[in-house]
Amino acid sequence: MFTLADLTEGVRTSLYSSVCACIHPTSCCSVAEIMSVLFFHTMRYRPEDPRNPNNDRFVLSKGHAAPVLYAVWAETGYLKESDLLNLRKIDSTLEGHPVPVSDTHLPHVSSCSLYRVYCLLGDGELSEGAVWESMAFASYYQLDNLVAILDINRLGQSDPAPLQHHMEKYQRRCEAFGWNAIIVDGHSVEELCKVLGQPRHQPTAIIAKTVKGKGIPAAEDKMGWHGKPLPKDMADSVLKELNSRILNNNKRLYPPTPMDDAPPVSVRNIRMPSAPNYKPGEKIATRKAYGLALAKLGRYNERVVALDGDTKNSTFCEIFRNEHPNRYVECYIAEQNMVSVAVGCAARDRNIVFASTFATFFTRAFDQLRMAAISESNINLCGSHCGVSIGEDGPSQMGLEDIAMFRAIPTATVFYPSDGVSTEKAVELAANTKGICFIRTSRPENAIIYNCNEDFHVGQAKVVYKSNDDQITVIGAGVTLHEAVAAAEQLKKERINIRVIDPFTIKPLDAKTIIDNAKATRGRIITVEDHYYEGGLGEAVCSSVVNEPGFSVHRLAVAHVPRSGKPAELLKIFGIDKDAIIQAVKKMMGSSANAK
């Protein structure tokens, strides 16, 4: 009879068959039995349809063990064994660390009732704080469909892991975080089958004692082999030994299939039921407009889900929570985990996910954000309390690097709305835009400047103030757009006309509108932003006009680490208020006159 033990040897055989490309064989070998039991005994899924919403979910957190995942898929028939020989090659879908081509390494969440999530972690990554953020979160919410398998193979990349094979210490740590923690022999198929088949009433950690390089006599439990392919003679020897132990290697086990109970859903064309309802001149903070817009969107779209990091009474996400408590998740002060949860909720395109906190706190989760982009995730993030305009809370709470951070993420769209109308439009557009969307919102209340029927698009700027004889184009966003409009009104009294542009999205930036309007003002541009100089609006504008002859850009931004103070005081001190814009306009005009 063909058994799981035979299959494990088959998985190892697939691994060694691709030895010339397999860069982490020892890390893969420590989990061969775990992967075999998971994929051919425990998990319910359709191997021909990895994205099926009824499937159990598998998360390969120890991503360098990608070859063992590919070997398992070869055993299921989803991949050809010959595909394994192309691992890490430029024309292969089998990356060195898995990406969504195989769609098997992401945390997937859907609405079906019976799926389980299995996450395989290495002992080295248990030094990461994000792991323990997620364990605390899972325990708090009693996620009894979540199973973490800890591969305790003792050896890291350059040193042994801190706890090595002290299994009871791992167990006590997991139990302290509220998990049911079970120690097993990670190379015993029988023990793994038994423990993975047990009913669960809380999140479970299976702490598997394993040997790095299991099955490779020269490398078993030895330092110095991490990330190294086996020499061909060693691989041939191991393969010969494995083949002699597999009695029926022409047979295949099939995984249990899931029940089809996930209803079909669509997250396309998520729209607001009506236009914004604001009056011109009415004052509202864009952070509050975000909360109102999100609740409105959720009112007519049941796939909209909201997360927040214990700032919901400041980001105004609490409006959504109060209206739709069953679709709100409180993530508390654990931003790395919040972004990861958002990625999971958005996977398989079954939910539209918004997550909010102070803009500055997203810097804590940059690794999760960049991995979300690599994973082709569609998540929407709102960062409130941006810039010095938040006032007395001080620099630790002021988002002054966030535009630079999100501009650097390949799939990101960066919205920077300046009033309640544009904020509501940004929320609606984000819900329908692929990739990572970041909406930057402000604390101060500012006047409504747009008509409620104004049409907005990603990458389309708005000219909010102009005349036929404008001298300079001023570009501002958020609070600085209002300062620019105030400056334009003051300068008009002095018979100096300037053009004011609201970019709406910083990425993509509407270069055409900026260039066309700047040409009308002799190529003279001033940017003003509540952000550090580096990576913000000013640099985005400079990049967009760099090839335009005769253009000059003067930038106003926050030059150094700020301090507490009243918003108006801070805008003035850092030279990004109305008076600073007026002074910059006159200086640029004077310079142009002198140049003639």
Does the annotation mark 335 as catalytic?
A: yes
Single out the residue of 233, 212, 229, 239 nearest to residue 21, CA to CA.
229
| pTM for this predicted structure | 0.93
Q: How far is CA 510 from the centre of its chain?
A: 25
* Ramachandran quadrant class, 221 (left: phi over 0; alpha: psi -120 to 50; beta: rest): left
Residue 553: what are its φ and ψ, rounded to 5°?
Answer: -120, 125
Tokens of 160: 């042994």
Compute the distance between CA of residue 72 and CA of residue 51 in angstroms, rounded to an integer.
16
Exposure string of 523-562, with b = 16+ CB inside 10 Å and e = fewer, is: bbbbbbbbbbbebbbbbbbeebbeebeebbbbbbbbeeeb
Which amino acid, 385?
H
Residues (pLDDT < 50) of the chain are 1-2, 19-21, 101-113
Tokens of 99: 């990406």
Compute the distance between CA of residue 187 and CA of residue 417 in angstroms, rounded to an integer.
55
Tokens of 127: 């030094």
What's the pLDDT at 592? 64
What's the pLDDT at 246? 59
Q: Kindly tell me the sign of the dihedral angle through the C-alpha atoms of 121, 122, 126, 128.
A: negative
Distances (CA, A) of 177 to 180, 255, 336: 9, 32, 17
Which amino acid, 443?
R
Compute the distance between CA of residue 362 and CA of residue 403 in angstroms, rounded to an integer.
11
Residues 6+ apart with CB under 8 A from 318: 291, 308, 312
What's the pLDDT at 113? 43
Q: How far is CA 572 from the centre of its chain?
A: 35
What's the pLDDT at 139? 97
204-209 β-sheet, strand order = 57-60, 117-122, 146-152, 204-209, 180-185
498-502 β-sheet, strand order = 462-465, 498-502, 472-476, 524-532, 552-558
What's the pLDDT at 109? 31
What's the pLDDT at 107? 31
What's the pLDDT at 105? 36
* Ramachandran quadrant class, 162 (left: phi over 0; alpha: psi -120 to 50; beta: rest): alpha
Quote the strand ranges of 296-444, DSSP E. Answer: 304-308, 328-330, 352-358, 379-384, 412-415, 436-440
Radius of gyration of the chain (CA): 28
β-partners of residue 554 are 526
Helices (H) and strands (E) in the chain, counts: 20, 19
Q: What is the pLDDT of residues 31-53, one digit of tens each?
A: 999 999 999 999 999 988 888 88
Exposure string of 439-470, with b = 16+ CB inside 10 Å and e = fewer, is: bbbbbbebbbbbebeeebebeebbebbbeeeb
**What 3-state class would DSSP assign to 137?**
helix
* Cα distance between the two ends of the chain: 93
Q: What is the pLDDT of residues 511-543, one digit of tens each?
A: 999 999 999 999 999 999 999 999 999 999 999
Cα dihedral value 21, 23, 24, 26, nearest 10:
80
**Catalytic pick among 75, 335, 424, 529:** 335
